Amino acid sequence: MKKRLLVLVTLVALALQGSEIAHADASIPPADVTCSITQTGVQYSLSMTFANTTVTLSDLTYDWEYAILTPGGDPATSTSYGDRHPLFSTSVNATTLTYDQMLILVGNKTDAILSVFATPKTGTGVTALKNNGGKGCYSDLRVVKKGMDDAVAAANAATDAAAAQAKANADATAALQKVQYLYADKLGNFYEVKSAIKNLLSGGSPFFKVNPTLTASLARATNYVLPKFPYQQADLDALTFLLDGNGTTPGLNQDLDTALTGIDAYNAQVKAAAAAALAKSTKVTTITCIKGKITKKVKGVKPKCPTGYRLKK
């Protein structure tokens, strides 16, 4: 297995959640470990710096070790740690330790500080990589525990936020679909009203000559422009207002009812006036006509006295 390693910048001390995770000093050539807190423990990674631009290695493996800080010692100084103990070997330049595994390594001392080192090795006989002098990365178990709790809390918060956002998106989609269904239903009502208004206005009733404002209101049906799909709440509100008004301003439905009622009343009034005029023009009356001592009654529509008679007043 061959791995191509580019020149890597030596990583600086890492601090997470105010932790004491950082590098302990060591001699070169560097085979430096960095670490970061995860939800379950600590992630360790290894970097190396070479003098050449590129180096090709074969059969590269990594031996991982740990050491425990001597009570009262400086965690950033490698000599403050006890003996190194082997952990395991990996074929990749990264590994993890769970918090429970770390507790086992330090004898269940929750306030212990643990440093992890890695030694790169290859089967090609390149002695420069057979070293154990790289910088380790140390972790205060109290900080790790807090960092884990914070990471879990952050992950839970992110999960809750994602779930809340997903629900909000689903609610918004459902709300939009409801608006679209309501709009489609109200649109059917609009087409019926529009057809009725068209027939009404095309009838040329004289009633509209004395009601120009009502005529203009009804004409709005012919000027209504359908919005582009998908329909929004504002479109539903606009169509609702057009049809139903708002309690103060009448809508097409109310104006149509007003027009129908008004036309009926207008036609009835015109019919009554015509009937009254007709009745008046055909009314039979009786008059009394006299000629000397002779009296004669004449009955008819607009009766007149015969020649020689005069109307008795």
> Tokens at residue 40, please?
């379950």
Q: What is the mean pLDDT of the chain?
A: 83
One-letter amino acid at 252 equals L
Strand 54-58 with 113-121, pairing: unpaired
10 Å Cβ neighbour count for 244? 16
Question: For residue 227, which of 218, 238, 217 has the smallest C-alpha distance?
Answer: 238
Residue 53 has a pLDDT of: 54
pLDDT digits over 257-303, tens only?
A: 999 999 999 999 989 988 888 877 788 888 899 888 888 888 888 88
Look up the pTM and report it.
0.53
Q: Which residue has the higher pLDDT, 8 or 63?
A: 63
> Tokens at residue 161, please?
């936020």
Q: CA geometry: angle at 4 spanning 2 and 9, to 5°?
A: 145
- Give the bridge partners for 288, in sequence order: 297
pLDDT digits over 75-108, tens only?
A: 998 889 999 999 999 989 899 999 999 999 999 9
3-state DSSP call for residue 77?
A: coil
Confidence band, pLDDT 50/70/90 cuts, at residue 29? very low
200 and 258 Cβ atoms separated by less than 8 Å: no
Rounded mean pLDDT, 24-42: 71
Rounded mean pLDDT, 204-233: 90
What are 66-74's contacts with CB under 8 Å, separation 24+?
Answer: 66/105, 66/114, 66/115, 66/116, 66/117, 67/114, 67/115, 67/117, 67/136, 68/105, 68/106, 68/112, 68/113, 68/114, 68/115, 69/112, 69/113, 69/114, 69/115, 69/138
Residue 12 has a pLDDT of: 27
Q: How far apart are CA 282 and CA 307, in angstroms?
A: 23
- Scored b (16 or more CB within 10 A) or e, 15-44 reads ebeebbbbbbebeeebbbbbbbbbbebbeb
Angle 233-244/252-281 helices, nearest 10 degrees?
Answer: 10
Q: How far apart are CA 148 and CA 159, in angstroms?
A: 16
Tell me the CB-side half-sphere exposure of residue 122, using CA atoms within 13 A. Answer: 17
Residue 313 is given by DSSP the state -
> Tokens at residue 277, please?
């005029």
pLDDT digits over 122-166, tens only?
A: 655 444 445 556 789 999 999 999 999 999 999 999 999 999 999
Lowest-confidence region among 4-18, 54-68, 198-212: 4-18
In the sheet where 284-291 sits, what is the strand order?
294-301, 284-291, 310-311
Sketch out the chain's domains with CATH numbers. Answer: 2-153 (2.60.40.10), 156-281 (no CATH), 283-313 (no CATH)
Q: What percent of the chain has pLDDT over 70?
A: 83
Residue 240 has a pLDDT of: 95
